[in-house]
A and B are shown apart, each in its own frame.
Chain A
Amino acid sequence: MENPNAPHEHHPALQHHFHSMAQQLEASVLGMWVFLVTEVMFFGGLFMAYILYRSLYPDAWLAGSQELDEFLGGLNTVVLICSSLTMALAVRAAQVGSRKGQIVNLILTIVFGTVFLVVKYFEYAKKFEHHLVPGAHFDPARDPAQQLYFSLYFMMTGVHALHMVVGIGLMLVMLHMAWKGRFSAEYFAPVEISGLYWHFVDIVWIFLFPLLYLIGKHH
């Protein structure tokens, strides 16, 4: 154990209130997880509403789900899994000190995230065309209870997409830092915890895909 009071050379990114880079990274990761727990609870409220209203209006849920495009939902699931792989590889590249690996994988992550949002745009446009958006223009031939399903569809996928936009913004900052050569085997906490956020957003979609797109497929 090194003496923290002894004068010594240390990494420029080490804040004075930490003993070592390892301890600083541990604190960053723990802090990020505390934030992610609040995010779990944030999305948890929406999943709670989903469970409750699905149990009250099961038929509206099946009919609503059948209007979603399973192919586009599945495509976006694969796109997000690809982005999680490139994200994990970007963190690894920082750990092994590969600037090129960081830049390539961060750009790929941003590209996959953007593809996801573009697909989502076309899905939303179709919902507007088909009068599936809750409110005054909702298809009057449909059971009004289906508006609950579509309200939750738009809210859950909408806040998820908002998280994707924030994530892409974070990745642009990480790309800038990686470009400047800020990350090394000793210091990669920013890309590590941004990666935790990105993977969390992927996990939310892993649950949204079967619960929104696939529930009516066996009927």
Chain B
Amino acid sequence: MSHISSKRLFYTIFVSLIILTGLTVFVARQDFGAMNTPVALAIAGLKATLVILYFMGVRYNTPLTKVVAASGFVWLIILFGMTMGDYLTRSWLGFPGR
């Protein structure tokens, strides 16, 4: 909005994003078993949060804009949660064809 962030803040976010990119490449080589993808998603989520809050400036926006911005990700969780809740539990009933 009318808030003007300092260049220093933008450079700090930039360096953080580059470091987190290096980190995600590094952890991809470690074997965490089933946790590899959740770890990668946690780092990606952190990077996305930095971009949204500072580069996109949502931190300095009105509460209404914040709610709208967050709503997209809430609906994503509903989409993923309900679809996988369906697919992953189909076999429980013992019907053929998943």
Q: From residue 40 to 56 of chain B, which have CB atoms closer than 8 A to chain A?
A: 40-41, 43-44, 47-48, 51-52, 54-56
Q: Return B23 CB to nearest CB of chain A, in Å.
A: 11
Bound CA span A168–B40, Å = 29
Cβ-neighbour of A33 out of B31, B69, B76, B80 (below 8 A): B69
Given contacts A74-B25, A81-B17, A206-B44, contact A199 B55 (CB under 8 A): yes
Q: From residue 35 to 59 of chain A, which have CB atoms closer than 8 A to chain B?
A: 36-37, 40-41, 44-45, 47-48, 51-52, 55-56
Whether B29 and A41, one on each chain, are in contact in the complex, defined by CB atoms closer than 8 angstroms, is: no
Which label, helix, strand, loop or mixed, suits the secondary structure of the B interface?
helix
Cβ-neighbour of B47 out of A30, A96, A206 (below 8 A): A206
A45: nearest chain-B partner, CB-CB: B79
Given contacts A37-B69, A81-B17, contact A87 B48 (CB under 8 A): no
Residues of chain B within 8 A of A88, CB atoms compared: 5, 10, 13, 54-55
Q: Return B30 CB to nearest CB of chain A, in Å.
A: 6
Size class of the B contact interface (CB-based, 8 Å):
35 or more
Given contacts A33-B65, A52-B83, contact A210 B24 (CB under 8 A): yes
Residue A217 lies at the interface, judged by CB distance under 8 Å to chain B: yes
Q: Return A85 CB to nearest CB of chain B, in Å.
A: 4
Q: Mark A202-219, 1 if CB is under 8 A from B, else 0.
A: 110011011100110110
Q: From residue 176 to 191 of chain A, which have CB atoms closer than 8 A to chain B?
A: none
Mark A residues whose CB is within 8 Å of B.
22, 25-26, 29-30, 33-34, 36-37, 40-41, 44-45, 47-48, 51-52, 55-56, 70, 74, 77-78, 81-82, 84-85, 87-89, 92, 95-96, 195-196, 199-200, 202-203, 206-207, 209-211, 214-215, 217-218
Mark B residues whose CB is within 8 Å of A.
1-2, 4-5, 7, 10-11, 13-14, 17-18, 21, 24-25, 28-32, 36-37, 40-41, 43-44, 47-48, 51-52, 54-56, 61-62, 64-65, 68-69, 71-73, 75-76, 79-80, 83-84, 87-88
